[in-house]
Every structure is written in C-alpha cells, then in structure tokens.
Amino acid sequence: MKITRSDPIPDILVIEPIVHLDGRGYFLELYHEARYREIIPARFVQDSHSFSRAGVLRGLHYQLGKPQGKLVSVIEGEIFDVAVDIRRGSPTFGAHAGVLLSAENHRQVYIPEGFAHGFCVTGERALVLYKCTAPYDPAEERGIRWDDPLLAIPWPISDPVLSPRDRVLPTLDTMREDELPM
C-alpha cells in the first residue's frame, strides 16, 4: 500500500491499498491489523457506516472527552473528506486537509484523535465506512460550522443539505478553549 502524509498536516494519512484487478472485478483489503499497525498506532473498536444522498454535507464533528481517530473509506460513490486540526497548541491548529475519496480510487484517509471531521457527497450518493478508535458517545459530540470563514475550506458544493444540528454549530473562533481537545 502507498502512504502519503497530507500537506499541510502530516498527521493525516492518505492510504492507497493494493487493488487486485481482473476480469471478474477487484479485490482489496480495507483493513489488515498487522499492516495497518505499522502506520496507525491505534486500535479500532467500532465500525460505523453512513449513507448520504447528493449534496449532503456531514460535519464538522468531533468527540471531546472520548476522542475518535477514524479510518475512512468509501464503498460506493464519492466524497470530499475534510479533517481540521483543532488540537490546542498544535502548530497546525485551524488548518485543514481535504481529500477526494471514492469507490473508484479506493483511497482511505486516517484522521487521528483531536481533529474535526466532515465530508460532502460529490455524486448521486455515497456509502461511507469509518473504523473508529473509540465508541460513539453522543454526550461527547461537538462540532464546528462547515462554512467557518476562518477555516476557508474549499467545499465543492455551495448549498449543501445539512442536518438541523449542523446548521447551528459554532465557528472555531467563538468556541471556549475547554471545548477543544488538547
């Protein structure tokens, strides 16, 4: 597999698994513990799966007291996936990394703990699989506005479909320090 560190945040890893193609289709390993342990020093404890329609934007989400690292893969469709460094004191605080993930390119992205995460669907639909390093805990869930002007994320859609909760998330500059991870 090929591993690329994201620019400007080298903690974000873009992973391109080995894909075996033939006349029947393809085969790849989405996760192999021994191989992935060499690059990701985390243990995955939960798999989550989402379906989203065209124009949907989910995020930017994170868990505060029980942070999650995520290994994100697209099973069907295509998304623009974004991670924002919100670790207090980080040299890349407020920076973001975006990567196009699709069923065709088979890329994965690893987002460590301490990052807000979101994505938007760039096609008709997307099935997204997340391997997480901590269980989902709704009491710990937090978020940042997708269109925060200080983050200046170049989302490929301008009028996304959002959840009611995502519509009212705060901007990073209005958040208290204790609402951000160390």
CATH number at residue 107: 2.60.120.10
Number of domains in the chain: 1
Task: Give me the catalytic one of 31, 61, 96, 136.
Answer: 61
- Other C-beta atoms within 10 Å of 57: how many? 23
Average pLDDT over residues 21-26: 94
Burial of 129 (0-12, 13-18, 19+ CB in 10 A): middle
Average pLDDT over residues 71-89: 97
CB of 116 within 8 A of CB of 59? yes
Is the pLDDT confidence value at 182 over 90?
no
Average pLDDT value for the chain:
96
User: Is 61 among the residues known to form the active site?
Assistant: yes
User: Is 130 among the residues known to form the active site?
Assistant: yes
User: According to the model, what pLDDT value does residue 89 have?
Assistant: 94
Q: Minimal CA–CA distance to 129: which of 65, 52, 73, 57?
A: 73
Distance CA(82)–CA(89), nearest Å, equals: 20
Model pLDDT for residues 25-79, shown as the tens digit of each residue: 999 999 999 999 999 989 999 999 999 999 999 999 999 999 999 999 999 999 9
Model pLDDT for residues 143-177, shown as the tens digit of each residue: 999 999 999 999 999 999 999 999 999 999 999 99
User: According to the model, what pLDDT value does residue 21 have?
Assistant: 93
Domain that holds residue 173: 2-179
Side-chain-side CA neighbours of 123 within 13 Å: the count stands at 15
CB of 161 within 8 A of CB of 55? yes
Task: Give me the catalytic one of 36, 62, 110, 130.
Answer: 130
